[in-house]
Amino acid sequence: AKQYELGPLIVYDNGLMNGARERLRLWSDLHRALEREEFELLFQPKVSALDGSWKGAEALLRWHHPMLGAINPDIFVTLAEESGLIMPIGRWVIAKALDALQSWRVETGNMDLHVAVNMSPAQLSDQGLVQLVVEELERRQLPPSVLELEITETQMLEPEKAAAVISDFARKGIKVVLDDFGTGYASFQYLRQFEFSCVKLDKTFIDSLESKSHERVLVKAMIDMAHSLSLTVVAEGVERNSQWFYLKSMGCDLLQGYRFSIALPAQALPEWARQQPV
Ligand code: C2E
Ligand code: CA
Ligand code: CA
Ligand code: CA
């Protein structure tokens, strides 16, 4: 057991969890959260930068703790990684996300929609992960191109191992996205080393678009470079029309953020899309 390592995280992020006993409690509660069906998967729409039309969604995990209420993924994903629980949880996330995508395809008739799930680098060492993903797609008769796996560069601990798994996914036609692009010191290194099909510009860049002209130059350069490598570019954390305007004029492909929608239950997305003024 390594629960002592969890101390600072929980003390700072959740005032309720400041004793060793409480930490141990949260730890053991997480082990039962799957079977008790305490997880919920929400979906934040991704839209076209050109006209705001619905293109896909990112799955975002929530844990509804029976006593503590909603717990932020920033806290429990770390816990899940350290305990190895991220493997079964991650498999559950993939199945749920594909279920959601399938229901949207049936309801809207739009076969171009995609769904993205977040992957901890720890999951890349899940033996049989690629096979599981392929089987989950086949079971629903979904083409591999509808699934995107988002991986954060700053967490890449074993780049060689990760590169092998990523190219395995790429060979099968499953897209891998470099999340939080531009925040790690190795961003450009990673672009050369891994077979990504998309980069996701970190929210920190989007935040400073309106106030800092040199940031706009930087963002434009990142978009152009990604495009020259045939990568799709997504911007996250778009909250205002002015940010949309800049990103559209710079040729960013897809947008995501509170300007368009917060993360919603799966069944709410088709209705949300119908209400968009396209
Ligand atoms: P991320 O992948 O960078 O996700 C983006 C976060 O920004 C999400 O927080 C989202 O709700 C939030 N967000 C989206 N649009 C806006 C906006 O316009 N403004 C602001 N201020 N925030 C926005 P969330 O859902 O709390 O997720 C936090 C992190 O937890 C994610 O960061 C991701 O790394 C991780 N995570 C979430 N779900 C999963 C999962 O199923 N598996 C794994 N391994 N990690 C997950
Ligand atoms: Ca993400
Ligand atoms: Ca991100
Ligand atoms: Ca992040």
pLDDT digits (tens, 9 = 90+) for 137-150: 999 999 999 999 99
Q: Which of 9-18, 72-81, 132-141, 255-264 is the least confident region?
A: 9-18
At 1 the pLDDT is 30
Q: What is the pLDDT of residues 172-226, one digit of tens each?
A: 999 999 999 988 777 777 888 888 999 999 999 999 999 988 889 999 999 999 9
Of 245 and 156, the structure prediction assigns the larger pLDDT to: 245
Mutate to test the pocket of ligand 1, among 14, 60, 241 (most ligand atoms within 8 A of CB): 60
- Please give the model's pTM, rounded to 2 decimal places: 0.92
Q: CB pairs under 8 A, 24+ apart, for 4-7?
A: 5/82, 6/78, 6/79, 6/82
CA of 272 to the centre of ligand 2 (A): 21
At 265 the pLDDT is 98
Structural contact between residues 89 and 34, judged by C-beta atoms closer than 8 angstroms: yes
Backbone angles phi, psi at 95, to 5 degrees: -60, -45
Q: What is the pLDDT of residues 234-270, one digit of tens each?
A: 999 999 999 999 999 999 999 999 999 999 999 999 9
Of 58 and 28, the structure prediction assigns the larger pLDDT to: 58
Q: Taking ligand 4, which is a single-atom ion, which protein residues have CB atoms under 5 Å away?
A: 180
**Mean of the per-residue pLDDT values of the chain:** 89
At 2 the pLDDT is 33
- Ligand 1 pocket member 160 (CB < 6 A): no
At 252 the pLDDT is 98
At 115 the pLDDT is 98
Spell out the alpha helix ranges (H) of 109-208: 129-139, 159-171, 187-193, 203-207
CA of 200 to the centre of ligand 1 (A): 12
Place of tokens 């991220």: 86
Q: What atom of ligand 1 comes closest to residue 123's alpha carbon?
A: 44
- The predicted complex's ipTM stands at 0.97
